[in-house]
Amino acid sequence: MSDVANEVTVGHVGPMASEYVDKGIPFLRSLNIEPFNIKYDGVKFITPSFHKRLQKSSLRPGDVVIVRTGKPGTCAVIPDWLLEANCSDVVIVRCSERVRPRFLCYVVNSVAGHHISSHIVGAVQQHFNVGSARTLEFLLPSIEGQDAILAILGTLDDKIDLNRRMNETLEAMARALFRDWFVDFGPTRAKMAGQTPYLVTEIWELFPDRLDDEGKPEGWSFSSIYDVASVVYGAPFASSLFNTQCDGIPLVRIRDLPSEKPGVWTTENHPKGFKILPGMIVVGMDGEFRAHLWGGEEAWLNQRVCVFQPNEGISSVFLRETIIPQLKFIEDTEVATTVIHLGKGDIDGFTSLFPGKTLISAFNDGVEVFYKKIVQNKKEAQSLAQLRDLLLPKLMSGEIRVRDAEKMMANAL
């Protein structure tokens, strides 16, 4: 890589908690770097003055960023819309005129796995350092060849991105309905104000006409989270049996949740093992507490990861939207010197609003189709990503011609 890079450096190293502010310069961490994509959700901010002090780790459009810790080797290109940013815990590569940033991103994400695995430092906390990045070797086509490959793979990426944006819309629609009915109590407030019904009659009539002394619709109650869900905790699988050769069954660790792509397999059949399936709600219990709607393959659940399973009559949408703000509250208020942790005691304190089975059933009927489509889109995106990762090394080596790759792509889309 050093032959085609003008610069290879590293993001800021040092404590940051006291430097974050509500608004300012975006500050990217490893959790904001996804394969081929910058995840802006959860981004932190720093002051312009602190940003100026960190010129070495300043980012600009076209920079290639590679995760050092957690999911080492995960790579993305800083997009044109992110005009000014800073970062920590990533390797920064500034490309020369010999390589397109997007092409280098494909290389690191798709064909550099063996190099990264062999250059990881640290058995407990894994790192991919600057020195290892500089020695990364790969086949480099001409600029014209790179552009031809990018045109093909870009079509696949466009479809993957379309699915991602569609999922964001579907999730927003489900969340909007949940908030209107069970957070803002829109129908009840509309009734109190004498407004025209905005739901079909049979559903409108299910909402109470007034709020009680606690500010919730009359007759509704709060209860334990266990009245609407059960929680399954991951098992302590032996790391000595982990492998990256697809031997056994995939194992989901916390670091795998953002990509929904397990990084290791295990041959162990743990007596307390639990397999997660597409559509399940999975939560990591260290660092950040996000309720992921799993769209990956069937896999074992590792320790420090848990699954919230809705009880009969409760939809995944209702349950997930119920726990998301409570998880965020724990994350925002947890105090730790290093990494914050979510415990069973925290979850035991979770509650759920219960508006009655009939109304929950009506809600389920309206939103379950959204989550089913989201999971379907995720599966399709993963299949397209696998095709993309298959095509790249074959296109680079000349094993597959551009015309043949175009035919394969047409069949997949």
pLDDT digits (tens, 9 = 90+) for 188-209: 999 999 999 999 999 999 999 9
Average pLDDT of span 87-96? 95
Residue 338 has pLDDT above 80, yes or no: no
* φ, ψ of residue 56 in degrees (nearest 5): -60, -35
pLDDT band, very low/low/confident/very high, at 131 (cuts 50, 70, 90): confident
Residue of 270, 281, 333 whose CA lies nearest to 307? 281
Residue 232 has pLDDT above 90, yes or no: yes
Residue 365: CB atoms within 10 Å: 11
Largest CA distance in the chain: 72
- DSSP, collapsed to helix, strand or coil, labels residue 143 as helix
Q: Yes or no: say if 287 and 254 are a contact pair by the CB < 8 Å rule.
A: yes
Residue 279: CB atoms within 10 Å: 16
Give the percent of the chain with pLDDT over 90: 74
Chain segment 21-54, per-residue pLDDT in tens: 999 999 999 989 988 889 888 899 999 999 999 9
Tell me what pLDDT residue 121 has: 47
The domains of the chain, with CATH numbers, are 5-136 (3.90.220.20), 221-354 (3.90.220.20)
Amino acid (one-letter) located at 190: A
Residue 115 has pLDDT above 80, yes or no: no
Tell me what pLDDT residue 118 has: 56
Q: What is the 3-state secondary structure (H, E, C) of 27-76?
A: EECHHHEECCEECCCCCEEECHHHHHHCHHHCECCCCEEEECECCCCCEE
Distance CA 51, CA 85 (A): 8
Average pLDDT of span 132-142? 87
Chain segment 356-380, per-residue pLDDT in tens: 999 999 999 999 999 999 999 999 9
Amino acid (one-letter) located at 133: A
Task: Return the top range by mean pLDDT from 108-112, 254-258, 307-311, 385-389.
Answer: 307-311
Q: Yes or no: say if 382 and 262 are a contact pair by the CB < 8 Å rule.
A: no
Average pLDDT of span 287-314? 97
Distance CA 220, CA 242 (A): 48
Residue 127 has pLDDT above 80, yes or no: no
Write out the two tokens for 226.
């266990």
Q: Yes or no: say if 291 and 339 are a contact pair by the CB < 8 Å rule.
A: no
Sole residue written with tokens 């602190």? 50
Write out the two tokens for 195.
């407004």
**Eight-state DSSP code of residue 302:** B
Distance of CA 21 to the CA centre of its chain: 23
Angle, alpha carbons 218-321-379 (nearest 5°) = 145
Tell me what pLDDT residue 124 has: 44
Tell me what pLDDT residue 71 has: 79
pLDDT band, very low/low/confident/very high, at 122 (cuts 50, 70, 90): very low
pLDDT band, very low/low/confident/very high, at 116 (cuts 50, 70, 90): low
Q: Which residues contact 286 (CB under 8 A, 6 or more apart)?
A: 254, 304, 339, 340, 341, 342
Average pLDDT of span 216-231? 98
